[in-house]
Amino acid sequence: MKAFERLMAYTKFEAASDGSSKTCPSTSEQLDFGRALVQEMQDLGIRDANMDQNGYVFGTIEANIEDWEGTVIGFIAHMDVVRDVPFQNIRARLIQNYDGGDVLLNPEQNIVLSPEEYDSLQAYGGKDLVVTDGTTLLGADNRAGIAEILTMAEVLRDNPEIKHGTIKIGFTPDEEIGRGADRFDVERFGADFAYTVDGGGFGEVEYETFNAATAKIAIRGENIHPGTAKNKMKNASLIAMEFHGLLPVTARPEHTEGYEGFFHLIDLRGSVEQASLTYIVRDHDPIKFQAKKDRLDKVTTWLNDQYGPGTVSLEIVDSYANMQEQIKPHWHLIEIAYEAVQEAGGEPHSIPVRGGTDGARLSFMGLPCPNLGTGSHNHHSKMEYACVQAMDACVTTLVKIAEKYAVR
């Protein structure tokens, strides 16, 4: 089976994670998907394929070199998709020999995927694309990665002349809500190093992520009849608006790129009596990251000076750190990935990840874990798509990495 066929088959699993849930995994649908993956892995000859009580799927491709004792490499992807974009009733379809122009995803609603708006399409003239009908995401983030890892397993099974060492496979739940590594048992996984297969275009080799935190602001107001409110009312919603206004407009996701960090307001609720704001705070540079957290603290202090002690409270929780410092001592991970991409016909390139991966946290848990591209684009969007030939090249890259670590 080709990687794109697996991706299309996986769209039937409506396995979005849910940040409001306290369970692990956060949704039962991820368990359904995990069970199906275990069965598929067993059908591919991965005899120890299993899912643990927390919904993590693990398996081992045994070395086919006699008396092999070398570096155990792992490949990791996540099973969940985001809930913020429609994810049910995905209608994936194949566009063969893409002509390089606009793609009419949905004639009834006139939904168009255009290379003028999404310039990554410009590289795929004459290639085959997997798209949706424009009303849902595709789920290539991260089912493309799962598909490529299991297609690699199939290639290795069917081609015993390709020599490889022991390879570990791991599929995680709840990555999209920041919990993918929470209960990942690194020791049980058993790899010396790993790669997440959770990036964008083919050829991406990523080892820099954001430093990340979540900030929650609670505001306490005082209500009174508006007819007698002068010098008495304290409107929590207006104070929330004031808080947001004291953060720089230019430091928002829609105004930043590359190494530029941001404050992203993801939730705002309010009444006169109480209000709350939730931000995710991101920056690649640890000094700038700390400065952003300090900015939130200073705004909180200033507003409490204006409206009285205890009006505004701030809680900041760090989510993950830039994994670069954990990858650099093991630079062979990047060198081998670059060589593998080149041998698969691509141009390896590294860009700062404007987000995080399970690998970012796993790298700080003793499993150095850079990230590889999947041949897919426009994640978390109804315009999400994947390129068939790029996915094939990603599979070849994984096979090449496995070969190279067999002789390292």
> Which of the following is catalytic: 29, 40, 80, 384?
80
67 flagged as catalytic:
no
The CA distance from 251 to 87, in Å, is 30
* Residue 346 vs residues 132, 183, 258: alpha-carbon distances, Å: 26, 35, 22
- DSSP per residue over 58-120, as a string? EEEE---STT--S--EEEEEE--B-SSS--SS---EEE-S--SS-EEEETTTTEEE-TTTSGG
CB 62 within 8 A of CB 68: no
Q: Coil, strand or helix: which one is 212?
A: strand
How many helices (H) and strands (E) in the chain? Answer: 10, 17
How far is the C-alpha of 397 from the C-alpha of 142, rounded, in Å? Answer: 17
Q: Which among 394, 379, 342 has a CA at the least distance from the CA of 6?
A: 394
Given the residues 29, 128, 148, 175, the one annotated as active site: 175
The answer to whether residue 80 is catalytic is yes
319/210 Cα distance (integer angstroms): 10
Active site residues: 80, 175
